[in-house]
């Protein structure tokens, strides 16, 4: 498919995502075709592309007068394509916590958040490369790199960047997350909130490794 054809398909595909977002029930290809005022074949083409991209997913079959029709719904990835003001809300939450907690209490609360986040992730092993991969799933542009004392994790973006620029205490979430996942103490060697180009995290050897 050429670039022009892809551009022509985009508005209908965006409309399908919007229709499924607002629908309380799964919708069939025919129902989507009717709402889009396009042929069933055209709607099926859009749906197939969106399903391949993981933006929609199959749901229960829909009963009709004839054969049941496959129902589709928005996937979690599809929902994430719609604008969300996470940064604004997170800043408000941090400011509210700061007003009611002292510095030590705030630091401890953020560490608990990092530990809880680590507990929610499917950690297969504690290897630095594995942890870097899980961080990528959370939205960090992270990778395992070799440092002067062993493997480190480098992140070239931070999901808390704007918050960290206003209050670096938020970095305690990252540090607690990494301590919990690796089972090692963590040194924050570089930080974008300090004006550096990336964040770098170094890890002390585990006692079993010493």
Domain at 21, CATH number: 1.10.10.10
Same domain, 33 and 137: no
pLDDT tens digits for range 24-72: 889 999 999 999 999 999 999 999 999 999 999 998 888 777 678 899 9
Boundary-marking domain end, from 42, 59, 79: 79
pLDDT at 68: 83
- For tokens 């022509």, the residue is 8
Same domain, 101 and 75: no
Q: Is the per-residue pLDDT at 177 higher than 90? A: yes
pLDDT band at residue 87 using 50, 70 and 90 as cut-offs = confident
pLDDT band at residue 207 using 50, 70 and 90 as cut-offs = low
pLDDT at 91: 85
Q: How wide is the angle at C-alpha 198 spanned by C-alphas 82 and 117, nearest 5°?
A: 55
Same domain, 125 and 166: yes
Dihedrals phi, psi of 186, to nearest 5 degrees:
-125, 135
Boundary-marking domain end, from 79, 114, 144: 79
pLDDT band at residue 98 using 50, 70 and 90 as cut-offs = very high
Q: Give the total number of structural domains in the chain.
A: 2
Tokens of 148: 């002067």
pLDDT, averaged across the chain: 87
Same domain, 32 and 10: yes
CB contact at 8 A, 182 and 126:
yes
Boundary-marking domain end, from 32, 54, 79: 79
Q: What is the extent of the structural domain holding 59?
A: 3-79
CB contact at 8 A, 16 and 56:
yes
pLDDT at 4: 39
**Cα separation, 15 vs 37, whole angstroms:** 11
């Amino acid at each position: 498919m050429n670039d022009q054809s892809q551009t022509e398909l985009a508005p209908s595909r965006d409309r399908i995502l919007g229709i499924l977002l607002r629908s309380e029930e799964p919708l069939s290809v025919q129902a989507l075709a009717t709402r889009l005022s396009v042929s069933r074949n055209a709607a099926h083409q859009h749906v197939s592309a969106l399903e391949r991209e993981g933006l929609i997913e199959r749901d229960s079959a829909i009963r009709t007068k004839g054969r049941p029709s496959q129902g589709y719904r928005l996937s979690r990835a599809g929902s994430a394509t719609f604008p969300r003001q996470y940064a604004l809300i997170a800043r408000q939450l941090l400011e509210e916590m700061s007003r009611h907690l002292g510095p030590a209490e705030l630091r401890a609360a953020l560490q608990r958040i990092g530990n809880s986040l680590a507990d929610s992730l499917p950690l297969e092993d504690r290897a630095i490369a594995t942890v870097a991969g899980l961080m990528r799933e959370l939205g960090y542009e992270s990778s395992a790199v070799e440092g002067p004392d062993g493997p480190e994790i480098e992140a070239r973006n931070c999901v808390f960047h704007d918050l960290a620029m206003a209050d670096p205490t938020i970095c305690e979430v990252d540090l607690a997350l990494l301590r919990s996942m690796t089972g090692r103490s963590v040194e924050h060697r570089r930080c974008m909130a300090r004006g550096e180009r990336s964040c770098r995290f170094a890890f002390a050897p585990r006692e079993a490794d010493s």
